[in-house]
Structure 1
Amino acid sequence: MGPWVFLGSEKIFKEVVRNHLPEKRPMDDLEMEADLPYEEEYAIGNLSPYSFYHGWYFPKKLDYYFRRYVLFEGVSDEIIEKWKQVYIYLLKKMTYRYNGKMVLLKSPVNTGRIKLLLETFPDSKFIHICRDPYKVYLSTWRLYKAILPAFSFQHVEYEDVDRLILEFYKNIYKRYFKEKRLIPKGNLIEIRYEEFVKKPVETLETVYTKLGIKGFEQAKPAFKRYVKAHENYKPYTYKIDEDVKKKIYSEWGFAFKEFGYTK
């Protein structure tokens, strides 16, 4: 995402980006295209130093970036305000670009920022998608194996990455379970990944209804076209041994219980 230039020079830079993107995303083999949506955290990272994603370049400091710019621990009020200003600036540009339409953001790190987001956007609506924690662990490892070799300037040991994956999930969900109570009634819906994959259009209708969002019938044909276009997509099949399962459950057992997944 080119947050500095997309209002005035989108056509020029989009072609540059399009010509240098791989056809598939390295972590899941889905298509990668300049017109597709991406996490706004990339834009925050391009606009400022206040992003966890800077840790992709310096993985030995991943924990530093996580604690400062996801949990905002040990960060001054001045830095928090600067982060808010960057976020507001980005969303104002996006809102202007799309003629005032509601902005839909997808960023896993926001799971740990509920209180901060509500301070900035009090009437925000939240969609949380939970997934079997075993699959989350394996999927996250697959992501790191794809991302770190491509972007990092440092070598980081397997054991260190594994520890961080376990710590990040644990910290972010302990924060989420605590702060989601702050969300006004009717502004949060929690859905399961497994159900979403089985019934994507029906699940989206539920999301629209529960959050009081208008326009589902107008959007429904586009949703159906997207689902049809990806009906032959086969997600990666994971294998996991008992020792790894024990390790995950010992750290994330609280999330299994909260979400209702079996050990």
Structure 2
Amino acid sequence: MAEIPVLGSDHTTSNFCTLALQNRADISMHSIFFIHFKTIGDILKLNIFSRFHWKRALTTIVFLVLYLLLVLLVLFFRLLDEILFPAYRKVQIKEPLFIISNPRSGTTFLHRLLCLDEEKWIYTKLYETILPSVTLLKLIDLLAIVDNRIGKPMRRFFEFLDRKIFGGWKDIHPMGFNKSEEDEGFYVFSTLTAGLFLLVPFLADLPLVRFPDKMSQKNIDRYMRNYENSLKRIMFAKGSNAIYLSKNVLSTGRLHGLINTFPDAHIVYLIRHPYKSVPSLTSMFKAAWSFHSPDIPDDSELTRGLGQLAIDFYKYFDSMRDKIPSSKMLTIRYEDLVEDPVSSVENIYSTFNYTMEEDFKVRLKQNSTRSKNYKSTHDYTLEKFGFKKDDIFNQLQHVFERFNFER
């Protein structure tokens, strides 16, 4: 494990870092930026040298170049924040609400329903998670004002990028730079995010990417301190004292870190039948592999590694349930959410003693009706990827029994 150092011997850069950090004993480079350099080395080794395919190698090089440029950009502006907006550190994150589940279990739908209550919640948009700096976000707000006055050319450009970059995901997971989104982008800078498995097909070789909770407690604390620091910047930039609302389908692997960092957090756990969730997650990630790793067939051990990640997430959350006070957690079945989303949201508000205003109730009912007629255009089967029901049941028997899932 290694954290990013003060930026080398360049005199100007060193002076800038010193200016940003001087007289602030509460600042560490871990909170400003945290990178697990070993993972970067592992990505290079696995994707380029261990099992070479030119598409995978080229995609990896492009990704790492863009990653480096983004790191340098964001690090510069985060250091600038320490000079221009040091008050962001006074932001208190009280009783945040985390929506956690396996992928493809209704989190996006629930999250976007809750986001309709804009006075209660503060949430992240995709661009905010990849540009987590007060200075950067305020510059973007200023550019948006200018853009509106000159006919919105930048807005049209980013809508074009949305269609090009995320168009293929619209039936799987609708995305856009300006849409409410899970906060996994904050973790991308550390490289300890299961989102890397969209790029790297060798899951078994990256145990800390799968489960950051397997790090030493010291490094977990550094990792989560950086996440908390990013949240404070976002909340300060938005100027809101609302409750932080997060949905993240990859946070199961860092659940210990989350509940230690935010002991007063409320957790909503969405659960779907493993026979549905396991192949759905596998298909979602495998779609990216079809471009850069056409040498990996659907029915392969590497592909089944994606499903095993989903299985391990089920097992790990189940093992952690008793460490979360019952008053702090609510479990909602996927089927119940889809059948009656209004009741599911009302259940959240009632369980955690949130006040539901009348105007939010109206918006909630208007926006929840679409779930009644929704039917996914994607049909996933266990057999397509070589999974067997008995194997999944044997690994998750306790989960099946707890939720009375049909075998």
Asked if TM exceeds 0.5, the reply is yes
1:164-243 equivalence runs, <5 A = 164-215=305-356, 217-228=358-369, 232-235=373-376, 236-239=378-381
* Correspondence for 2:241: 100
* Correspondence for 1:4: 132
Q: Decide which of 41, 48, 52 is 2:194's aligned counterpart.
A: 52
Q: Aligned pair 1:248/2:392, yes or no?
A: yes
Q: Which one-letter code corresponds to 1:85 in the other structure?
A: R
How far is the alpha carbon of 1:187 from its aligned partner?
Answer: 0.8
Deviation track 1:235-258 (CA, whole Å, cap 9, x = no partner) reads: 234455697333432333332222
* Greater mean deviation of Cα atoms: 194-203 or 73-82: 73-82
* Correspondence for 1:114: 255
Residues 133 and 255 of structure 1 are in contact (CA less than 8 Å); yes or no, is this contact kept in structure 2? no
Deviation track 1:176-210 (CA, whole Å, cap 9, x = no partner) reads: 12212121231100010001000001111011101
1:130-145 equivalence runs, <5 A = 130-145=271-286
TM-score normalized by the length of structure 1? 0.83
Q: Aligned pair 1:68/2:208, yes or no?
A: yes
Deviation track 1:12-53 (CA, whole Å, cap 9, x = no partner) reads: 5983543211364527356433332222112320x3223222
Give the unaligned 5+ runs of structure 2.
Answer: 1-125, 145-153
Q: Which one-letter code corresponds to 1:3 in the other structure?
A: L
* Greater mean deviation of Cα atoms: 141-150 or 3-12: 3-12
- Tell me how far apart the structure 2 counterparts of residues 21 and 232 of structure 1 sit (CA, whole Å): 26
How far is the alpha carbon of 1:140 from its aligned partner?
Answer: 1.2
Residues 278 and 311 of structure 2 are in contact (CA less than 8 Å); yes or no, is this contact kept in structure 1? no
Q: Decide which of 230, 240, 246 is 1:90's aligned counterpart.
A: 230
- Tell me how far apart the structure 2 counterparts of residues 165 and 27 of structure 1 sit (CA, whole Å): 21
Q: Which one-letter code corresponds to 1:161 in the other structure?
A: L
Aligned CA distance change for structure 1 residues 134 and 191 (closer, same or farther; 3 Å):
same
- Tell me how far apart the structure 1 counterparts of residues 305 and 287 of structure 2 sit (CA, whole Å): 16
Residues 125 and 187 of structure 1 are in contact (CA less than 8 Å); yes or no, is this contact kept in structure 2? yes
Aligned CA distance change for structure 1 residues 100 and 119 (closer, same or farther; 3 Å):
same
Aligned CA distance change for structure 1 residues 210 and 181 (closer, same or farther; 3 Å):
same
Please give the secondary structure, in 2, of the residue aligned with 1:35.
coil
Residues 7 and 93 of structure 1 are in contact (CA less than 8 Å); yes or no, is this contact kept in structure 2? no
Give the unaligned 5+ runs of structure 1.
Answer: none
Residues 201 and 223 of structure 1 are in contact (CA less than 8 Å); yes or no, is this contact kept in structure 2? yes
1:8-27 equivalence runs, <5 A = 8-11=138-141, 15=155, 16-22=157-163, 24=167, 26=169
Aligned CA distance change for structure 1 residues 228 and 164 (closer, same or farther; 3 Å):
same
- Tell me how far apart the structure 2 counterparts of residues 72 and 145 of structure 1 sit (CA, whole Å): 22
Q: Which one-letter code corresponds to 1:82 in the other structure?
A: R
Higher relative contact order (CA 8 A, sep 6+): 2
Q: Aligned pair 1:40/2:180, yes or no?
A: no
* Correspondence for 2:90: none
Please give the secondary structure, in 1, of the residue aligned with 2:284.
helix
Q: Which one-letter code corresponds to 2:267 in the other structure?
A: F
TM-score normalized by the length of structure 2? 0.56
* Greater mean deviation of Cα atoms: 237-246 or 28-37: 237-246
Number of residue pairs the alignment of both structures matches: 259
**Percent same amino acid at aligned positions?**
21
Aligned CA distance change for structure 1 residues 141 and 175 (closer, same or farther; 3 Å):
closer
Residues 170 and 251 of structure 1 are in contact (CA less than 8 Å); yes or no, is this contact kept in structure 2? yes
